[in-house]
Amino acid sequence: MIDFVVVSSDLWPHVLDSRVKRGAELLTDYHLVTLRASRIHTGPRSCFDEMSWFGRNPNEFKPRLSPDEAKIRDEYLKYYKEITLDQNTANAKLFVFDRSVTCMTDEQDYPDHPDRFSHEWQVLGRESLTGRCYWEIKWTGDWIRVAVSYKDIPRKGGPECRFGDIANTWALHCDRSSYVFRSNNVETQISGPVTSRIGIYLDHSDGVLTFYSLSDTNMRLLHRVQTNFTQPLLAGIGFYKPDASALFCKLN
């Protein structure tokens, strides 16, 4: 199984450090570094030599949507929010770089930090989310949680820190065949096409949070939350098992 981090090509020499224990290969065309159980190869390599984790550059997503769906996405793109991940919040099982995170088999050598999730395989974004915001996540693996949370979410513990299982967290649980929405330990089964790309729109002032599934030809509403947000939010990602990954896509 191939793991990945996403990195600009001019930064890749700095990624090949002691934390990358299983070796790496640079795919220069898509600016992907795939972590593999092989020797480190630092020369240029075509992205078509092998299947990368995402298959193609996830940042060059140009869906052929219906006119109505295209209008919705174009409107949301006006509020695109670039999100980077805060390594100080990442559980030790997570390899974090910039906008990407991979759940690993081995723990990373992170220093102790009061903001770090001690037991739950979760990580938070750096940027406060207020006003209107839109972002998209590309994911792979068997299970993933796409979440938003207040900043004061507990960090030291198990289920009492889990996205969707506690108050003031909202999480879309995605697997290979279905979706489930959870907040404050209340579960809602969701029907809709399972895709590897999720769009999230937030209108903080109006208390609206919506999740969409995105494919090359469709943008479908999965779930809409109407609530009252009283604090700024942070984006979050959670995992259930290793060999799963997520990327906050760059949309402009």
4 pLDDT higher than 90: no
Length of the chain: 252
Contacts of 152 (CB under 8 A, 6+ apart): 168, 231
User: Quick one: CA torsion of 55, 88, 184, 249, rounded to 10 degrees?
Assistant: -30
pTM: 0.79
Read out DSSP for 38-100? Answer: S--B-S---TTSS--SSSS-TTS------HHHHHHHHHHHTTB----B-GGG--TTEEEETTE
d(CA 156, CA 231): 21
Q: What is the pLDDT of residues 58-85, one digit of tens each?
A: 556 677 788 888 898 999 999 999 999 9
Highest mean pLDDT among 15-19, 37-41, 101-105: 101-105
- Which strand (E) or helix (H) includes residue 240? none
Q: Is the pLDDT of residue 26 over 90?
A: no
**What would the two tokens of residue 150 be?**
């207040």
Q: What is the pLDDT of residue 131?
A: 97
Interval 213-223: pLDDT, tens? 998 888 999 99
